[in-house]
Copies of this chain bind each other. A is one copy, B any other.
Amino acid sequence: MSELQAGERGNGYDDVPGRAPAVTRADVLAAAGRAKSACDAIAAASSAVKDAALKAMAAALRSRSAEVLAANGADVAAARAAGTAEALVDRLALSAARIEAMAAGLEHLADLPDPIGTVARGSVLPNGLELRQVRVPLGVVAIIYEARPNVTADAAGIALKAGNAVLLRGSGSAHASNSVIVDVLREAAASAGLPADAIVLVPGTDRSSVTHLMTARGLVDVIIPRGGAGLIRAVVEGSTVPVIETGVGNCHVYVDASADIPMALDILINSKTRRPSVCNAAENLLVHKDIAREFVPLATAALAAQGVMIHAEPRFAELAGPGSTVPATDEDFDTEYLALDIAAAVVDGLDAAIGHVKRHGTGHTEAIVTGDLAAAREFTGRIDAAAVMVNASTAFTDGGEFGFGAEIGISTQKLHARGPMGLPELTSTKYIVTGTGQVRPVA
């Protein structure tokens, strides 16, 4: 269930021409209205019913896997026929193993504690009123995502576990796959006693369906765009529905003067190369000048051994040696490569490193490798990001790794949720105040 957010860049959320029917605003609003109408029932459903539904959804995916694979085969064939790159086709393609992983993810959700109804805070006020702040569902959660059809099941499951109805707006390239998966999930949810409309596929796969969705105020409670920077910007700028921004990760690894060099090399290589296409991958290396002479040649060799192209500023390039790097342009330090490329620079010290991160970072994940307690404290205090790592890989920014059990994405905004979002981040709260006839003095 982890890294749902990952690497779905560049494959677009736009229509693949001819792959799905055009829709009107009324169609999208009708779909949103169906999800809205299911809210009360899913919000009121007991944990037992929700968990039974998740298990039924898992079982149905397994028993109807042939249907899912057939629809996915059509999507894959159409993508290949349209000349789609194989890397993107791989994201689109399902297999028996991928369907099993989707089913297992749903069963895992059933085993997690239910956030709904838990008391976030509570007290008895001086006048005897009993105050409780309890977790309630958000309502209708809309998720816009790109090619990978496994997100359809993952997102539906986590939204349902948190008592929400979900509107799923996948990619046009996965339309046949998503249609079948949603059909399977809806039927299974209904068999467990939940309204089928707790899970609704948004019709339409062109931009207008996103526009209609993000302006469906009153029908949609929150919208979570997951994908490339263009999609996220379009939703943030055009939405009248509250948005949780999941975002771009222009992540840095800063190697301090006091770093343990083998540790720094491990963290650098893991951060950069473990999965280059995901948002928690490192895109920048900063090296303290006092350790640069020793570290830069070792880092250059280690990166080269993994096939990483280094875009180096002059001081780094000089220490790396001729021919081992390419010159960094102004844009390189602002580029989320999501590939085997890294921008690298030597900096004068901790303060310069922090300043560099503040200028170029996107508030996702920033790491320092250091043996110096004061440096660690200053870096973690001054860097304003969803996650700040000390002597650990940037790859750990992940709901699964953080122990949340499930993740709907990684928020890079400051409001509501920041960092990996698990079940509690898909909830709101309400205050319940119980009295014995108290009235408020006129003051």
Contacts and interface: CB of A to CB of B under 8 A. Distances in A.
Interface string A425-436: 000111111111
Interface stretch (A13-21, A68-76, A186-194, A263-271): A263-271
B389 A439 contact: no
Interface stretch (A58-66, A80-88, A236-244): A236-244
B242 A433 contact: no
B240 A432 contact: no
Contact of A415 (B222, B387, B434): B222
Given A129-B396, A415-B428, A442-B274, A391 B240 contact: no
A40 interface: yes
A384 B217 CA distance: 17
Contacts of A440: 270, 274, 393, 395-396, 401
Interface in A246-270: 260, 263, 266-267, 269-270
Given A139-B414, A415-B244, A390 B432 contact: yes
A368 to B, nearest CB: 10
Given A389-B435, A396-B438, A440-B274, A419 B415 contact: no
Nearest to A268: B439
Given A382-B40, A414-B222, A415-B222, A431 B392 contact: no
Contact of A433 (B270, B389, B418, B436): B389
A428 B126 CA distance: 29
Interface string A77-121: 000000000000000000000000000000000000000000000
A416 interface: yes
Given A240-B236, A274-B442, A431-B402, A392 B266 contact: no
A403 interface: yes
Contact of A131 (B125, B126, B237, B403): B403
Q: Which are the 7 A-B pairs with shortest beta-carbon distances?
A: A392-B435, A270-B439, A414-B428, A263-B437, A395-B440, A416-B416, A387-B431
20 contacts: A40-B382, A125-B401, A139-B384, A236-B240, A242-B415, A244-B415, A263-B436, A263-B437, A267-B437, A385-B430, A389-B435, A391-B435, A391-B436, A395-B440, A396-B433, A396-B435, A397-B431, A418-B429, A419-B430, A419-B431
Interface of A: 40, 43-44, 123, 125-126, 129, 131, 133, 136, 138-139, 217, 221-222, 236-237, 240, 242-244, 260, 263, 266-267, 269-271, 274-275, 376, 380-382, 384-393, 395-397, 401-403, 413-416, 418-419, 428-440, 442
Given A387-B430, A402-B431, 20 more contacts: A125-B401, A126-B403, A131-B402, A139-B384, A217-B236, A237-B240, A242-B413, A260-B437, A263-B436, A267-B437, A269-B439, A386-B430, A388-B431, A391-B436, A397-B431, A415-B415, A416-B416, A418-B431, A419-B429, A419-B431
